[in-house]
Protein backbone atom coordinates (compact mmCIF):
# COMPACT_ATOMS: atom_id res chain seq x y z
CA UNK A 1 0.00 0.00 0.00
CA UNK A 2 1.37 3.37 -0.95
CA UNK A 3 -0.33 5.62 1.61
CA UNK A 4 0.49 3.68 4.81
CA UNK A 5 -3.14 3.88 6.00
CA UNK A 6 -5.46 0.90 6.39
CA UNK A 7 -8.31 0.89 3.87
CA UNK A 8 -10.55 -0.79 6.46
CA UNK A 9 -10.18 1.45 9.53
CA UNK A 10 -7.72 4.21 8.58
CA UNK A 11 -5.11 3.01 11.07
CA UNK A 12 -1.37 3.27 10.44
CA UNK A 13 0.27 0.38 8.57
CA UNK A 14 3.58 -1.08 9.74
CA UNK A 15 5.98 -3.03 7.52
CA UNK A 16 6.65 -6.45 9.06
CA UNK A 17 7.57 -9.99 8.17
CA UNK A 18 5.16 -12.72 9.17
CA UNK A 19 4.19 -16.32 8.50
CA UNK A 20 1.10 -16.94 6.37
CA UNK A 21 -0.71 -20.24 5.89
CA UNK A 22 -3.04 -21.06 3.00
CA UNK A 23 -5.20 -24.11 2.49
CA UNK A 24 -5.76 -24.87 -1.19
CA UNK A 25 -7.63 -27.96 -2.37
CA UNK A 26 -6.86 -29.84 0.84
CA UNK A 27 -3.15 -28.94 0.85
CA UNK A 28 -1.62 -26.65 3.48
CA UNK A 29 0.99 -24.15 2.32
CA UNK A 30 3.11 -22.27 4.85
CA UNK A 31 4.98 -19.13 3.84
CA UNK A 32 7.62 -17.80 6.23
CA UNK A 33 9.12 -14.32 6.38
CA UNK A 34 6.52 -12.75 4.07
CA UNK A 35 6.87 -8.96 3.80
CA UNK A 36 3.46 -7.50 4.65
CA UNK A 37 1.87 -4.39 6.10
CA UNK A 38 -0.15 -4.84 9.30
CA UNK A 39 -2.60 -2.26 10.64
CA UNK A 40 -1.73 -1.10 14.17
CA UNK A 41 -5.42 -0.54 14.92
CA UNK A 42 -7.40 -3.49 13.48
CA UNK A 43 -4.51 -5.94 12.73
CA UNK A 44 -5.64 -6.38 9.11
CA UNK A 45 -2.80 -7.84 7.01
CA UNK A 46 -2.07 -6.36 3.58
CA UNK A 47 0.01 -8.57 1.27
CA UNK A 48 1.84 -6.70 -1.51
CA UNK A 49 1.17 -7.91 -5.05
CA UNK A 50 4.72 -9.25 -5.54
CA UNK A 51 4.42 -11.39 -2.38
CA UNK A 52 0.95 -12.68 -3.34
CA UNK A 53 2.24 -13.59 -6.82
CA UNK A 54 5.20 -15.45 -5.29
CA UNK A 55 2.83 -17.40 -3.04
CA UNK A 56 0.60 -18.28 -6.02
CA UNK A 57 3.63 -19.47 -8.01
CA UNK A 58 4.69 -21.71 -5.12
CA UNK A 59 1.19 -23.21 -4.87
CA UNK A 60 1.26 -23.89 -8.63
CA UNK A 61 4.56 -25.76 -8.17
CA UNK A 62 6.69 -23.19 -10.01
CA UNK A 63 8.80 -22.55 -6.90
CA UNK A 64 10.23 -25.39 -4.82
CA UNK A 65 9.79 -25.30 -1.03
CA UNK A 66 12.78 -24.66 1.24
CA UNK A 67 11.58 -27.39 3.58
CA UNK A 68 8.57 -29.56 4.41
CA UNK A 69 6.99 -29.99 7.83
CA UNK A 70 4.47 -32.39 9.32
CA UNK A 71 1.24 -30.78 10.56
CA UNK A 72 -1.14 -32.52 12.98
CA UNK A 73 -4.79 -32.54 11.93
CA UNK A 74 -7.59 -32.71 14.52
pLDDT, tens digit, 9 for 90 and up, residues 8-62? 999 999 999 999 999 999 999 999 999 999 999 999 999 999 999 999 999 999 9
User: Is the whole model's pTM more than 0.85, yes or no?
Assistant: no
Range of the domain at 46: 13-59
Task: With respect to residue 73, please indicate whether it lies within any of the assigned structural domains.
Answer: no
Task: With respect to residue 45, please indicate whether it lies within any of the assigned structural domains.
Answer: yes
* DSSP 8-class letter at 51: H
Confidence of residue 1 (pLDDT cuts 50, 70, 90): very low
Task: With respect to residue 69, please indicate whether it lies within any of the assigned structural domains.
Answer: no
Task: With respect to residue 65, please indicate whether it lies within any of the assigned structural domains.
Answer: no
Task: With respect to residue 70, please indicate whether it lies within any of the assigned structural domains.
Answer: no
DSSP-derived 3-state class of residue 28: strand
Cβ contacts of 33-36, under 8 Å, gap ≥ 24:
none
Task: With respect to residue 41, please indicate whether it lies within any of the assigned structural domains.
Answer: yes
**Helix or strand (DSSP H, E) at 29:** strand 27-39
In angstroms, the CA 23 to CA 6 distance is: 25
In angstroms, the CA 45 to CA 68 distance is: 25
Total structural domains in the chain?
1
Task: With respect to residue 66, please indicate whether it lies within any of the assigned structural domains.
Answer: no
Amino acid sequence: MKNNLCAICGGKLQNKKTTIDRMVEGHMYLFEKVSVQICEKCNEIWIPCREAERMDQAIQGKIKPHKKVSVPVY
